[in-house]
Amino acid sequence: MYSIDNETESIDIVLNSYGDKETYDLCELTHSESPWKDARAGLPEGVSSQNEITLDSMAVYYGSL
């Protein structure tokens, strides 16, 4: 069930955990996680890609944390 209190708490947790991080650090963090790696499977580092990071892959990964 949707609750504004739950949503606000989630946002506060994210801001408290990542709000003070630099852009480079956030980039490194996200690029080390499964959804990013799965979307780039087989591509060399630094090569541009249009591969989609799917909602399903994010739900599975972040839901397991």
Mean pLDDT confidence for 44-52: 93
Instruction: Evaluate if residue 42 carries a pLDDT over 80.
Output: yes
Q: What is the pLDDT of residue 31?
A: 94
d(CA 8, CA 5): 5
The token duo for 40 is 């780039």
What pTM, to 2 d.p., does this model score? 0.71
Instruction: Evaluate if residue 3 carries a pLDDT over 80.
Output: no
Cβ(36)–Cβ(30) under 8 Å?
yes
In the chain, the percentage of residues whose pLDDT exceeds 70 is 97
d(CA 62, CA 53): 13
